[in-house]
Structure 1
Amino acid sequence: MQPLTYHAETDPRRWNDLLAGLPTHHLLQSWEWGEIKRQTGWWAHRLFFARQGAVVAAAQVLTRRLGRLPLAVQYVPKGPALDYADPVLTVQVLAALEDYARRSRAIFLKMDPDVPDDTLRGRAILDLLRHRGWQAAAEQVQFKNTALLDLTAGADAVQAGFKQKWRYNVRLAGRKGVTVRAGTEADLATFYRLYAETGGRDGFLIRPQTYYHDAWQTLLQSQGQVGGCLLLADSGAETVAGLFIARFARTAWYLYGASSSQQREAMPNHLLQWEAMRWALAQGCTTYDLWGAPTEMVESDPLWGVWRFKEGFGARFAPHIGAFDFAPSGLTYYLYTVAMPRVLSLMRRGHLV
């Protein structure tokens, strides 16, 4: 067995370029995402794992110290990135992360690798994690499951895969005078206003405007492997909906969507999604991740309506193994599990997600 070494990487371009070359990679492991989190008190430690000098895995570890205590919580969002078909490498990387958590005096290290759970490989990873003492996390930080759309066949084939009603609604938006434009940093305040309205209407958490402004600005200004685009739907002189899409390598993610309670019958969201797909195709992307699907495929799931909207564009349900915690000290982890509302409150205030 070839030994595995790891080291910290400090060059943004090298990090993104090598990460993009790994079999699995995700926007949340990009350099830019770590910088977004650093603005809210999380420190990004970027680790490359190498065999005989060749990088074979990567993990961006977000770390947050707990006040004056010599303790921390750690999180590897949608990572680590590696070839999970290589069982030896998987074990080596897990062992290295466990060692890193111990040396960092972490209460726990949480990860939610981008690994499907509906495959033999996914089930093998689940068995391995449990065997090594990782615990299924009581709380998911990201959506456990998602909706993926294959873009490889091109724009015409993608639209042909829409349900008939969805194609009709895209055309209807145009007939009703809805137009879509690429927004700039000057439009971020308008988008936030719509996003806050959407959160109030649909009942999800809205953070301060500065958090979103910093994140959106970072992604809009990115170049190379990372990019972002703000798309806004206008009806006459009024902006009635918008979405923010970002890409890493050849995958695009639908990160944020917002709409006014007005003009909904004009179907601006259908047209926005179509334009987002066209943007992703123009960027060379082969996959569009619509970011979020039900935890359980039942109509009572809170995301069922969202899933039906995404399914109408031809997206497929993509279940993942979810979040797991490694706790160097079972006692410390137990104490914090009992007091978990306090920990979760801290994580949310620190904008872990």
Structure 2
Amino acid sequence: MPYQFTTQVDADIYDEFVKNHPQCSLLQSARWASIKHNWKSMRVGVMENQQLVGAALLLMKPLPLGYTMIYIPRGPLLDYQNQSLVTYFIKQLKALGKQHKALFIKMDPNIHLNDYHSHERNDDVHKEALTAKKNIEAAGGIHQGFSMDMHATIQPRFQSNVYYVDNFMENLPRHTKKLLKVAMKRHVLIERHGIEMVDVFAELTKKTEARQGVSLRNRDYFRLLMETYGKDAYIILAKLPIKQALEDAAAALSKVQKEIAECPENAVKKLRTLKELEDSRSKEVQDLTAFQQRDGDVAYIAGTLSVICGPTCEILYAGTDEWYKKCMAQYYVWPKTMEWAFENGCHSVNMGGVANTLDDGLTKFKDNFNPLINEFLGEFDIPVNRILYRPAVWALHQRQKH
């Protein structure tokens, strides 16, 4: 039976297909259209023998003079080894594009060109990725190259992704486990929350924005994510119970001072050790006193916002209060975010894009959690209006530069 193209894919059927597809991506979920509400959207699919064999969430951006651009983030989802299916799908997309006065369609299939640890970077490629590239190009797609510029593509071409292993926390690198223990020793607690803590999380991201000089998202956007994805969205927060920690630290300091007072003067080595411990306890009390004066009895000092889609989880946003950097809370909250995702059936947790050089601070931080670098095949353009396609691409690139 021949393929059939449809623009009327039921949302539940569509999402079931996405969640069970090897190329599953949150950005192709039906609800992602609600997040990108400033774009028009459409769910399309290809049927064979009354079964969905290909699907895509199309985002349509209005352009001057009534034209549009169609973008398919991390999609379409289909078997790219099947040349006839690829050819049919792209042909139908072009026809649909003409109906909507699209100048071109930009697709970014969720296909890995290579996967490796950042310190083991190599030039190997997955043969299936090259076959997919060949089939897309044969159907009229124009590959936009294996860009090494992080800002040249809409979605990052390199991302840091942690995959499930048994006893995940125990298999973290030694230095990460050491930093995690520091956080626990400094009284940091981890809590999982829903939409009720959006305001707290938004405040943490503001602190990250101020520190890094970047612009993330605001409270309304985070609330939209939590409302749209419901039980599939969660916030993990690192909490410092300052009052309790201060009481414990003061008691520990008092105990050490009592031991010093009772220590014989000729026990030089023991006395030296106790004095060093006193200095450490005293500094801890000073720090916690300053924390209490600033934030009161309790402070939320780091957090993540994540969404689960099928067997994948995306850590979309994170924030940290630099005032509490000695608490090492980020080395506690990130792995606990992953652990919770794994406990709920996920086989991977995407920490997001990294610089294509793999030598920046963000990559080094994410390397603390044993990720693989996913290097993507990259974007393809499907020209719809042959005359205006290249001028439109030139204009788009000029806009991105500014």
**Could you say which TM-score interval applies, normalised by the shorter chain?**
0.7 to 0.9
- The 1:204/1:276 distance shift into structure 2, 3 A limit, reads same
Residue aligning to 1:261: 322
1:49 paired with 2:43, answer no
How far did 1:343 drift? 5.2
Equivalenced residues, count = 329
- The 1:13/1:133 distance shift into structure 2, 3 A limit, reads closer
Please give the residue correspondences for 1:97-108 in structure 2 after superposition, counting only pairs within 5 Å. 97-108=93-104
SS of residue matched to 1:100: helix
Residue aligning to 1:339: 395
Residue aligning to 2:246: none
Correspondence for 1:323 among 379, 384, 393: 379
Residue aligning to 1:141: 154
CA RMSD of aligned residues (A): 2.2
1:198 paired with 2:208, answer yes
| Separation in structure 2 between the aligned mates of residue 343 and residue 130 of structure 1, nearest angstrom | 26
Q: Is the 8 A contact 2:7 2:44 kept in 1?
A: yes
- The 1:210/1:103 distance shift into structure 2, 3 A limit, reads same
Q: Is the 8 A contact 1:170 1:274 kept in 2?
A: no
Q: Which amino acid aligns with 2:344?
A: Q
| Separation in structure 2 between the aligned mates of residue 46 and residue 269 of structure 1, nearest angstrom | 38
SS of residue matched to 1:263: helix
| Separation in structure 1 between the aligned mates of residue 391 and residue 302 of structure 2, nearest angstrom | 44
Residue aligning to 1:23: 22
Q: Which amino acid aligns with 1:110?
A: K
SS of residue matched to 2:322: coil
Please give the residue correspondences for 1:260-339 in structure 2 after superposition, counting only pairs within 5 Å. 260-297=321-358, 299=359, 304-339=360-395
Please give the residue correspondences for 1:172-183 in structure 2 after superposition, counting only pairs within 5 Å. 172-183=182-193
Correspondence for 1:63 among 60, 63, 66: 60
Structure 1: give runs of 5+ residues left out of the alignment. Answer: 349-353
Q: Which amino acid aligns with 2:144?
A: A
Q: Is the 8 A contact 1:143 1:293 kept in 2?
A: yes
Q: Is the 8 A contact 1:23 1:83 kept in 2?
A: no
How far did 1:73 drift? 1.3
Q: Which amino acid aligns with 2:381?
A: D
Query: Taking every aligned residue pair, what percent have the same amino acid on both sides?
Result: 21
Q: Is the 8 A contact 1:135 1:326 kept in 2?
A: no
Residue aligning to 1:351: none
Q: Which amino acid aligns with 1:243?
A: T
Correspondence for 1:124 among 109, 131, 134: 131
| Separation in structure 2 between the aligned mates of residue 120 and residue 305 of structure 1, nearest angstrom | 31
Q: Is the 8 A contact 1:180 1:232 kept in 2?
A: yes
Structure richer in helix, relative to its length = 2
Q: Is the 8 A contact 2:81 2:132 kept in 1?
A: no
| Structure 1 runs of 4+ with >6 Å offset | none
1:234 paired with 2:231, answer no
How far did 1:10 drift? 5.2
| TM-score for both structures, normalised by structure 2 | 0.76
| Separation in structure 2 between the aligned mates of residue 272 and residue 147 of structure 1, nearest angstrom | 17
Q: Deviations over 1:279-313 (max 9, x none)?
A: 1122111112222133234x3xxxx2212222221
Q: Which amino acid aligns with 1:78?
A: R
SS of residue matched to 1:291: strand
| Separation in structure 1 between the aligned mates of residue 98 and residue 88 of structure 2, nearest angstrom | 15
Q: Is the 8 A contact 1:163 1:312 kept in 2?
A: yes
Q: Is the 8 A contact 2:239 2:301 kept in 1?
A: yes
Q: Which amino acid aligns with 2:370?
A: G
| Separation in structure 2 between the aligned mates of residue 107 and residue 264 of structure 1, nearest angstrom | 49
SS of residue matched to 2:388: helix
Structure 2: give runs of 5+ residues left out of the alignment. Answer: 114-124, 242-297
